[in-house]
Amino acid sequence: MNLLYQSTRSEDVKVTASQAILKGLADDGGLFVPERIPALDVPVAKLAEMSYQEVAYEVMKLFLTDFTEEELKSCIAKAYDEKFDTKEIAPLADVDGVYYLELFHGATIAFKDMALSILPHLLTTAAGKNQVDREIVILTATSGDTGKAAMAGFADVPGTRIVVFYPKGGVSPIQEKQMLTQKGDNTFVVGIKGNFDQAQSAVKALFNDKALAAELADKGFQFSSANSINIGRLVPQIVYYVYAYARLLAQGKIAEGEMINVTVPTGNFGNILAAYYAKQMGLPIAKLICASNDNKVLFDFFCTGTYDKNREFILTTSPSMDILISSNLERLIYRIAGADAGKNKALMESLAKEGSYSITPEMKAQLSDFYGNFADEREVAAIIKKTYKDTGYIMDTHTAVAAKVYSKYVDQTGDRTPTVIASTASPYKFTRSVMNAIDLQYNTWSDFELVDELSRISGVRVPNAIEEIRTAPIRHNTVCEVEEMEAVVKRFLGV
């Protein structure tokens, strides 16, 4: 029997996994959620003997039940190949007894590669299964990392085009250069004069515009989403938590069934939601530690039960977490509302209208698996420097937010449960902020001088993703107002 997906905002529509992947967002503006979370059906001891690709199959087959074994294995094989610079795909670094799950060994050196290297294959397979003959147009808002990873995944994939919007001035210099040098005739990058939330809201509005959809359908196009609201991104992210547990077991760092904690640097709430789903599947995870930067809307939510985005948007050195509307939180709200779409819808309408909502005490009681905290800019820089001085390990700014929040958690609770920290980007992606944290004298160095110096002091080879952009020509230069986004999309599609 197929596992079906329904919207978080209405009960009446049920679709298969492949249809949910194709649509991205439900017609009523809700997110697709599985009707139930399937249980892991392979013992962890068995998983401990498997490769990343094999674990991926065991997890994904439970969620994407209308894909055949052959289809799924083919998607997995095409995604997790030599694009990753290590056979392990997601290695664990043991840094003084804390396990950093390095999710940045893919093509664009951020964790977005874990899902976006497989999404294009899932999507084109889904299109084939559902007799879609229109060209698929991926619309994506990015806070810096999704855009590049999505383009790397979709570049020159037949039957697809991709348009990426990023906040001009709101991403790191390396992130911007990575995007603006993107190859592929089907890729299009646009800087918008606004922040990430504005880009994301405008993209959602384009998705929900029925008249636009009809006009594009006439011309042979159909929108889909590569943002983390797509379950085709969420499901592949569950895999690495299961894999991390299996590796810790294989390495003798934990015993079978022993609990672990997971700490996740959080923005749109996709990565930590995947960990929550892994826990629901039966993986022995105790606490889900949600780490925010100065945009600490989630920390406040976990403290008070009120989600309130009415506040100043702060640009930080962890730009991929500069988000005030964490879209995937809606899937958690839906669950703690007792899978009540009506209740969830009312809260989301309040968020759209008032910019805030409050959950009931009964709902809040179900958040006890979560711990939220935040790290400010000074704390982020300090922990990068301290970890480097103490251990030689250099982490990026996002991972540093998680590391700091984890240390606050241990200070407050004394909880010594083995902990996995999701390490979401290579320090090479945020070289300037990382190097300035280590020593302010680096302030005057050029971006690529810093890259070479980082390699020298860390002993880690400069990744290909960075080597490539040293000399790559800029191929994109469009900048527009938020209001012009629809016109820009149409121009690119020639309609």
Ligand X SMILES: *Cc1c(COP(=O)(O)O)cnc(C)c1O
The C-alpha angle 245, 91, 243, rounded to 5 degrees, equals 30
Q: Judged by CB, which is closer to ligand X: 297, or 321?
A: 321
Q: Judged by CB, which is closer to ligand X: 25, or 425?
A: 425
What's the DSSP call for residue 141? E
Binding-site member from 117, 175, 225, 268 for ligand X (CB under 6 A): 268
Q: Judged by CB, which is closer to ligand X: 147, or 191?
A: 147
Sign, Cα dihedral of 118, 223, 34, 372:
positive
Q: What SS3 state is found at 251? A: coil
265 binds ligand X (CB under 6 A): yes
The C-alpha angle 63, 69, 75, rounded to 5 degrees, equals 80
Whether residue 244 contacts residue 300, with contact meaning beta carbons closer than 8 Å, is answered with no
Q: State both tokens at 332.
A: 């958690």
30 binds ligand X (CB under 6 A): no
260 forms beta bridges with 285
Whether residue 427 contacts residue 396, with contact meaning beta carbons closer than 8 Å, is answered with yes
Q: Judged by CB, which is closer to ligand X: 90, or 254?
A: 90
Stretch that binds ligand X, among 3-11, 18-26, 129-137, 263-271 (CB under 6 A): 263-271
Residue 6, classified by CB atoms within 10 Å of its CB into exposed (0-12), middle (13-18) or buried (19+), is buried
Taking CB under 6 A as the criterion, which residues in 162-201 touch ligand X?
Answer: none
Binding-site member from 24, 120, 153, 270 for ligand X (CB under 6 A): 270
Stretch that binds ligand X, among 64-72, 75-83, 87-95, 262-270 (CB under 6 A): 262-270
Question: What character string, x for contact with ligand X (CB under 6 A) and - otherwise, covers 407-446?
Answer: -----------------xx---------------------
293 binds ligand X (CB under 6 A): no
Closest approach of Cβ 150 to ligand X, in Å?
Answer: 12
Rg from Cα positions in the chain: 21
Q: How far is CA 89 from the centre of its chain?
A: 16
Binding-site member from 112, 204, 247, 296 for ligand X (CB under 6 A): 112
* Pairwise CA distance, residues 168 & 191, whole Å: 5
Binding-site member from 18, 125, 228, 316 for ligand X (CB under 6 A): 228
Q: Judged by CB, which is closer to ligand X: 188, or 428?
A: 428
Binding-site member from 129, 398, 404, 432 for ligand X (CB under 6 A): 398
H or E stretch at 373: strand 370-374
320 binds ligand X (CB under 6 A): yes
Closest approach of Cβ 357 to ligand X, in Å?
Answer: 19
* Pairwise CA distance, residues 247 & 124, whole Å: 31
Whether residue 345 contacts residue 339, with contact meaning beta carbons closer than 8 Å, is answered with no
316 binds ligand X (CB under 6 A): no
Stretch that binds ligand X, among 269-277, 306-314, 345-353, 433-441 (CB under 6 A): 269-277
Task: List residues near ligand X by CB under 6 A.
Answer: 110-112, 145, 228, 265-271, 320-321, 398, 424-425
